Chain A
Amino acid sequence: MNLPIPELLARYHPDHQAGAMETLLVGVSAGERCPAALAELLQADSLLEDVDIAGAPALDADVLIIGGGGAGCVAALTAARAGARVLLATKLRIGDSNTVMAEGGIQAAVGAEDSLQRHFEDTLRTGHFAADKALVAALVCEGPAAIRWLIQEGMSFDLAKGSPHMGGTLLRKTPGGATAARLLSYKDFTGLELMRTLREAVLLQPGIKVLDRHPALELLADDRGRCAGAVLHDLGRGRPILARASATLLATGGAGRLHLGGFPTSNHYGAMADGLIMAYRLGAKLREMDSFQYHPTGIAWPQHMEGTLVSEAARSAGAYLVNGQGDRFVDELQPRDVVASAVLRELAEGRGVERDGKLGIFLDTPTLERCHPGILKDSLVTLSHLAQRCGIDPAREPLLIRPTLHYQNGGVAIDEAGHTSVPGLLCAGEMTGGLHGRNRMMGNALLELVVFGRRAGAAAAAQARVGLPCNIGLSHLANWRRGLIAHSLSLEKKAPLLFPSYGNFDATNCLRGTTQ
């Protein structure tokens, strides 16, 4: 039962399971490993042929931004304020994203006992020293300025108890792995507060045209391989649109809805790795694609809540994890990968609890309430709401939980300005790699999308002066298909999928009018 941590991770962490990873055969990151289900999509064919876009209407912009979550909105605001004409295309509605779902908070080293250097070292250590130091330095150095920027956009933050609005101090919590209290928050819905602020700002900003329900299907390139925009699919009308731009910025977020390894997910409905797939096909390098974060406490039962996150707040407040035999089996406050692996071990070794066919272990809220009467009502409000929607009284009955696929640690490799290895193509947010190494600290993802959204937005606006590329099309696909054939990979598989299979939408046929 008491395995050393490296062995626990090696035996039970989903990234380390036999057959979980596959080696990429085609593309610029050939030879690197990534989850099998993702490899299949990264090495799939495009949904498009030249004929699909012949005669498609075109829209021109200086900067095309794909993805309307946090990173996309921050980039759009920055680029537009730098004078660029911005087109913001998003799959669902602007704001429907992982960003709006974030609960815990955002990191920035503002405490007197804290420092940028500490934030820098904490981030590197938590990521097992796999992160890019220059990127992490940029992240932490701009943390305080990013918070100021958010306040200027109208986002609120919690203040320390009794602090006045003017001249008070920010409420700070300690994220797992940090050596100082550094997590800033707004109640336990920091992402909602952040996203609705950004959404209002974008909708009011002159120079940004928002296209809701316009997922990108493929990037466009000029004859020298420079990214020149994207083919968007107008879901409402069921037709393609060519969005041509001097600079293209992808901010399509994570991959949770691929349900890697069959796991439920905390992610929003559109987290399908679309941007990653499109960028890779055009030649963007990837990194740490074999590293994903599984949050230990997702809801396991009831079915309609499966995968929903139970925030770390419960464990921080002292709630125990208890298996089917009524025993604790792990220090609940260890890093997420360790706790998740320990839960999976309990399930694998038959010490789980089953309910209506769903397997999990208990988050012991009744004992917590007994030891700290009133805690559920007073400080764990979101948890209490969650329990209510599960149809249980958390003071009497524990929540059934199991790990849920939460975050993509790696992604497209970028430099400090958000440039990828493809000219004209920039990326920001969860879809990029290099900032978190092999394990992300809580609160660094929200910081990342502000800092790198701003950097990439500014760089994209600067590139826009290069002018609109000419000879634009899908010429890069010929090369890509040759590569697939050379490795005996099927041209039948198409990607991106846009929506999970249970969404009953067939991306392959969406342009040919057979669906919708």
Chain B
Amino acid sequence: MQAKKSAQTVQSDPIGLHFDGHHIQASRGASLLEAWMAAGLPLTENVGCLGQGVCGACRVLVSRPGTRLATTALACTTLAEDGMQVAFIDHFPARRLHPYDLHTMTDSWQAIRQINTAFPEAQHCRHCGGCDRACPKGVEVQRMVNLACAGQATAAGALFEQCVLCNLCVAACPEHIDPAHLGQFVRRMNAALTLRPSDLIMRIHEIEEGLQPIQLDAEGANPPLVKEIVS
């Protein structure tokens, strides 16, 4: 079964690679996840959006021939190359030793203290850059950690805009800082404590005062009288 499947996908110009202990062949232009599937291997984890690169589920370690260092990547947005060595990185939830409750944070004067209470390890950052190297999205993780510690919540949060919560920086950090979750914490805190759009607030007030009633039978809520005949 496996042999048959991979035979089907091999084109005139096949690529050979090692993937999680399997030697597989892939066609040129296939992503690593597609190569895995085309080889007949079961895909029941390490996958989500399958190509958009937004869910952070398909983490792999990749090393290319001639290079000594392995790099992290997302398997759905990385093309298979001849001679690659690839391994899935299993799912690891961040350990949450210091949970926080956004809803109890009402005093923004205490924001810096709250960052330090929820993520005390952040101050131990060694500036080793492990997180930056791990991030497949090019997020400036280390800088965010340092800005967050200095209480610069908006600037810190902005750096984490592209984060897909793959947790690779969490795995990379020797100080157990959970950078990805610190990043989400400052982002969430920024929005929850400071975003107050006036148009939204006005509309909510109108609704509460009964000034936005819905008329179920208004003319526009019913089909036009002359109906088109659709086959």
A101 touching B55 in the complex, CB below 8 Å, given contacts A125-B220, A159-B197: yes
- What are the residues of chain B within 8 A of A9 when measuring CB–CB? 230
**Contact indicator per residue, chain B 156-197, by CB within 8 Å of chain A (1) or not (0):** 000001011100000000000000010011011111101111
A516 touching B203 in the complex, CB below 8 Å, given contacts A93-B91, A117-B218, A269-B49: no
A269 touching B200 in the complex, CB below 8 Å, given contacts A101-B54, A144-B207, A196-B163: no
Partner among B93, B102, B163, B197 whose Cβ is within 8 Å of the Cβ of A153: B102
- What are the residues of chain B within 8 A of A110 when measuring CB–CB? 197, 199-200, 202-203
Q: A6 CA to B212 CA in the complex, in Å? A: 35
- What are the residues of chain B within 8 A of A112 when measuring CB–CB? 199, 202
Q: Is the CB of A124 within 8 A of B221?
A: yes
Q: Is the CB of A499 within 8 A of B44?
A: yes
- Greatest chain A CB density within 10 A among B103, B196, B197 is at B197
User: Is A86 interfacial (CB 8 A cutoff)?
Assistant: no
Partner among B188, B197, B200, B221 whose Cβ is within 8 Å of the Cβ of A120: B221
A308 touching B91 in the complex, CB below 8 Å, given contacts A157-B195, A516-B42: no
User: Is A490 interfacial (CB 8 A cutoff)?
Assistant: no
Chain A min CB distance to B168 (Å): 14
A200 touching B45 in the complex, CB below 8 Å, given contacts A145-B204, A151-B195: no
Whose C-beta in chain B lies nearest to the C-beta of A137? B214
Q: A207 CA to B164 CA in the complex, in Å? A: 25
Q: Is the CB of A154 within 8 A of B187?
A: yes
Give the interface segment out of B27-35, B60-68, B119-127, B128-136: B27-35
Partner among B41, B52, B223 whose Cβ is within 8 Å of the Cβ of A101: B52
User: Is A199 interfacial (CB 8 A cutoff)?
Assistant: yes
- What are the residues of chain B within 8 A of A159 when measuring CB–CB? 197
Chain A min CB distance to B8 (Å): 12
User: Is A470 interfacial (CB 8 A cutoff)?
Assistant: no
- What are the residues of chain A within 8 A of B202 when measuring CB–CB? 110, 112
Q: A270 CA to B46 CA in the complex, in Å? A: 12
| Total contacting residues, chain B, CB less than 8 A | 71
- What are the residues of chain A within 8 A of B220 when measuring CB–CB? 117, 121, 124-125
Whose C-beta in chain B lies nearest to the C-beta of A97? B48
Q: Is the CB of A147 within 8 A of B91?
A: no
A/B pair count, beta carbons within 8 Å? 208
Q: Is the CB of A93 within 8 A of B192?
A: no
Q: Is the CB of B103 within 8 A of A187?
A: no
Partner among A192, A268, A304 whose Cβ is within 8 Å of the Cβ of B31: A304
- What are the residues of chain B within 8 A of A475 when measuring CB–CB? none
Q: Is the CB of B48 within 8 A of A100?
A: yes
Chain A min CB distance to B182 (Å): 11
Whose C-beta in chain A lies nearest to the C-beta of B198? A167
User: Is B96 interfacial (CB 8 A cutoff)?
Assistant: yes
- What are the residues of chain B within 8 A of A10 when measuring CB–CB? 230-231
User: Is B43 interfacial (CB 8 A cutoff)?
Assistant: yes
User: Is A92 interfacial (CB 8 A cutoff)?
Assistant: yes
Q: A235 CA to B47 CA in the complex, in Å? A: 14
Q: A291 CA to B69 CA in the complex, in Å? A: 50
Whose C-beta in chain B lies nearest to the C-beta of A235? B44
- What are the residues of chain A within 8 A of B161 when measuring CB–CB? 187
- What are the residues of chain B within 8 A of A499 when measuring CB–CB? 43-44
Q: Is the CB of B30 within 8 A of A269?
A: no
Q: Is the CB of A503 within 8 A of B44?
A: yes
A129 touching B223 in the complex, CB below 8 Å, given contacts A100-B48, A101-B49, A187-B161: yes
Q: Is the CB of B221 within 8 A of A121?
A: yes
User: Is B84 interfacial (CB 8 A cutoff)?
Assistant: no
Q: A residues 464-504 with Cβ under 8 Å of B?
A: 498-499, 502-504
Chain A min CB distance to B48 (Å): 3
Chain A min CB distance to B113 (Å): 18
Q: Is the CB of B49 within 8 A of A268?
A: yes
Could you say which interface size class chain A belongs to?
35 or more
User: Is B209 interfacial (CB 8 A cutoff)?
Assistant: no
Q: Is the CB of B197 within 8 A of A169?
A: yes
Q: Is the CB of A504 within 8 A of B41?
A: yes
Partner among B42, B48, B54, B187 whose Cβ is within 8 Å of the Cβ of A269: B48
- What are the residues of chain B within 8 A of A141 when measuring CB–CB? 207, 212, 214
Q: A83 CA to B47 CA in the complex, in Å? A: 33
**Contact indicator per residue, chain A 144-180, by CB within 8 Å of chain B (1) or not (0):** 1101100111111101000101111110000000000
- Greatest chain A CB density within 10 A among B49, B96, B218 is at B49
Q: A100 CA to B55 CA in the complex, in Å? A: 6
A157 touching B184 in the complex, CB below 8 Å, given contacts A10-B231, A101-B49, A504-B41: no
Q: A268 CA to B58 CA in the complex, in Å? A: 13
Whose C-beta in chain B lies nearest to the C-beta of A143? B203
Q: A110 CA to B202 CA in the complex, in Å? A: 8
Partner among B54, B103, B221 whose Cβ is within 8 Å of the Cβ of A133: B221
Q: A268 CA to B47 CA in the complex, in Å? A: 9
Q: Is the CB of A152 within 8 A of B221?
A: no
Q: A117 CA to B55 CA in the complex, in Å? A: 36
User: Is A515 interfacial (CB 8 A cutoff)?
Assistant: yes
Q: Is the CB of A144 within 8 A of B54?
A: no
Q: Is the CB of A92 within 8 A of B48?
A: yes
**Contact indicator per residue, chain A 196-207, by CB within 8 Å of chain B (1) or not (0):** 110111011000
User: Is A32 interfacial (CB 8 A cutoff)?
Assistant: no
Q: Is the CB of A170 within 8 A of B200?
A: yes
A95 touching B165 in the complex, CB below 8 Å, given contacts A117-B218, A157-B197, A308-B51: yes
Q: Is the CB of A166 within 8 A of B196?
A: yes
User: Is A109 interfacial (CB 8 A cutoff)?
Assistant: yes
Q: Is the CB of B207 within 8 A of A116?
A: yes
Chain A min CB distance to B186 (Å): 10
Considering the complex of A and B, which 6 residue pairs feature the smallest CB-CB distances, nearest first? Answer: A154-B188, A96-B48, A121-B220, A304-B31, A6-B230, A129-B223
Interchain residue pairs with CB less than 8 A apart (16): A6-B229, A93-B48, A101-B55, A108-B200, A112-B199, A129-B222, A144-B207, A151-B192, A154-B188, A157-B195, A197-B188, A200-B181, A269-B49, A269-B50, A503-B44, A504-B40
Since A96-B55, A165-B195 are in contact, a sample of 20 more A-B pairs with Cβ atoms closer than 8 Å, ordered by chain A residue number, is A92-B57, A110-B203, A111-B199, A112-B199, A112-B202, A133-B221, A154-B184, A159-B197, A163-B197, A167-B198, A192-B54, A197-B184, A197-B188, A212-B91, A235-B44, A303-B30, A304-B79, A503-B44, A504-B43, A505-B43
